[in-house]
Structure 1
């Protein structure tokens, strides 16, 4: 280290280190504190972090329903308990290292950087009555330099003696304006699932949800552009889905049950699809966004626990051991598994000393503060 020029350390090495380590380096000297706290350094660190396969934080929901964070590169290390803003918190999205967290009693939405302790509570928008489904999305509008939250609610509205019909209401929250806006109020043709399925974020501003079209007996992937505050072109599906899964299932199987998840892996949209004929779950990724022919099957998982699951989600890739962290819903229970790419085997994952987790999400570790936010105290380290 003595032979390495200080300039290389400060501007070449430090921006590539985890956010947690950099926070410790604030105590080295006043010049280091000034450097690490500068907007230029924070943006450089964000650039390197987003472009790399490191600096991932796993956000775990423990059996006590509290949230914990853990470094993916050291999954057997300790976890840090995140601040509690309400009962039963859940992550509804992450972007640039910021988490959007929903809690109940009191009902609230909070933006939090788990690496820095910067947070901001958003104005309450209480759930609608007769709500049948409610999902969120969170991302960044680079056109207006603004973080935004999307809330989609399907609810039943009374028609008097005629019964009920379904309404879909889309709200968008702007952090700059600190207010919610109704973007759409329609009668939907396709339905959202009642389970937790928040928006899959691509390129920081494109949010995606899957909808089931009953009349056509097929799925539709809709895209909401945060910059334009509107729905844009649907994402094309791979041929195996467009053809009604005829290569994946028999005539007696339910087409709707074949698609197990839509999310983002390594910056690309992916689909997990149940392949009945092979007794496996196939993972498809879209290598070039919006290009139908770029869908490719990444791999298939034939482990019985995965195949029999009702939801299979890819969380993160650990490059050191060439393993992929999976979240599954197996026999009504949430399980966290490691999938080894080379041996094609699956084993139970123990993350941060927690033998079991109700849920797991992932975000990048960055130094960004929530705009207009406050700081919270140092969180408690678990043994």
Structure 2
């Protein structure tokens, strides 16, 4: 049977079957474990995809999946998930930072991981050369995770700054899953972003990752957006106290919740 036909058949199988078929042969294991295969499978099955909430608790890293469309009284509403890579994680401050196309972005005090719970695939992201040399007690971070459709690539985006320095030294970088490497974006200066003691997680919307931040030079709050395709940073001014306001993507809109004013 042609290899391309095998791929098309596998792409249309349920997740439980794919997990079993990883044991058929080495080539199938490699194929099904490929993040880009997982993305193609998600795109095909997304029309019948059930929306679920994944919850992880510490320190035992107990993980559960909650089905939004099933009554909580039903046995299948809440199902345990096998976090089969706990040996790769620091047990301190493990958090789910975001999700995209079935991949869950996880971060702890010293680890970054991408996890597809459906097919049991995970990838540990190495710390960037910049962040691995930073003092966590001084630096603040903005994280985000998204998919660049133009290059069929997943990106982990990180912005870091040190408000203690006079010029508020900042760095913008991203990890490419396809290239398996970090890259710093040079020539983009944003000495006004303050993430100190408030490591915000970006919200993915319309091909960009959005955060709430603060401009020190103008003393105003801004929405910061990183365009995953253009690899550039955009800002939009608004009136809001970031400490009392959250940014969400809700029903196709970027929404501000809390003490915010338009």
Structure 2 length as normaliser, TM-score? 0.71
Residue 223 of structure 1 corresponds to 225
Tell me the alpha carbon deviations over residues 281-314 of structure 1, each in whole angstroms, 9 at most, x when there is no partner.
Answer: x9xxxxxxxxxxxx9xxxxxxxxxxxxxxxxxxx
Shift of 1:157: 6.7
Residue 306 of structure 1 corresponds to none
**SS of match in other structure, 1:94:** strand
Instruction: Tell me the distance in 1 between the aligned counterparts of 2:152 and 2:51.
Output: 24
Instruction: Tell me the distance in 1 between the aligned counterparts of 2:190 and 2:38.
Output: 44
8 Å CA contact 1:57–1:71 kept in 2: the answer is yes
CA 187–138 in structure 1, closer or farther in 2 if over 3 Å, else same: closer
- 1:183 correspondence with 2:185: yes
Shift of 1:169: 0.6
Residue 46 of structure 1 corresponds to 42
Residue 128 of structure 1 corresponds to 134
Among 64, 84, 91, which residue is 2:59 paired with?
A: 64
Shift of 1:43: 6.5
8 Å CA contact 1:213–1:219 kept in 2: the answer is yes
Among 76, 95, 99, which residue is 1:94 paired with?
A: 99
Instruction: Tell me the distance in 1 between the aligned counterparts of 2:179 and 2:19.
Output: 34
Instruction: Tell me the distance in 1 between the aligned counterparts of 2:242 and 2:100.
Output: 30
Structure 1 length as normaliser, TM-score? 0.50
**SS of match in other structure, 1:78:** strand
Tell me the alpha carbon deviations over residues 322-349 of structure 1, each in whole angstroms, 9 at most, x when there is no partner.
Answer: xxxxxxxxxxxxxxxxxxxxxxxxxxxx
Q: CA RMSD in A?
A: 4.0
- Higher relative contact order (CA closer than 8 Å, sequence separation 6+): 1
Instruction: Tell me the distance in 2 between the aligned counterparts of 1:221 and 1:155.
Output: 19
8 Å CA contact 1:156–1:167 kept in 2: the answer is yes
Shift of 1:197: 1.4
Unaligned runs of 5+ in 2: 1-8, 22-27
Residue 262 of structure 1 corresponds to 247
* Structure having the higher Rg: 1
**SS of match in other structure, 1:263:** strand
Equivalences for residues 1-383 of structure 1 within 5 A: 46-47=42-43, 49-50=45-46, 54-64=49-59, 66=61, 68-72=63-67, 73-74=69-70, 75=72, 76-82=77-83, 83-84=85-86, 85-86=88-89, 87-88=91-92, 89-104=94-109, 107-125=110-128, 126=132, 128-129=134-135, 131-156=138-163, 164-184=166-186, 186=189, 188-192=191-195, 194-203=197-206, 205-214=207-216, 216-232=218-234, 234-235=235-236, 242=238, 244=239, 256=241, 259-274=244-259
**SS of match in other structure, 2:145:** strand
Instruction: Tell me the distance in 2 between the aligned counterparts of 1:108 and 1:141.
Output: 23
Unaligned runs of 5+ in 1: 1-10, 27-32, 159-163, 245-254, 276-281, 283-294, 296-383
CA 20–64 in structure 1, closer or farther in 2 if over 3 Å, else same: farther
8 Å CA contact 1:95–1:138 kept in 2: the answer is yes
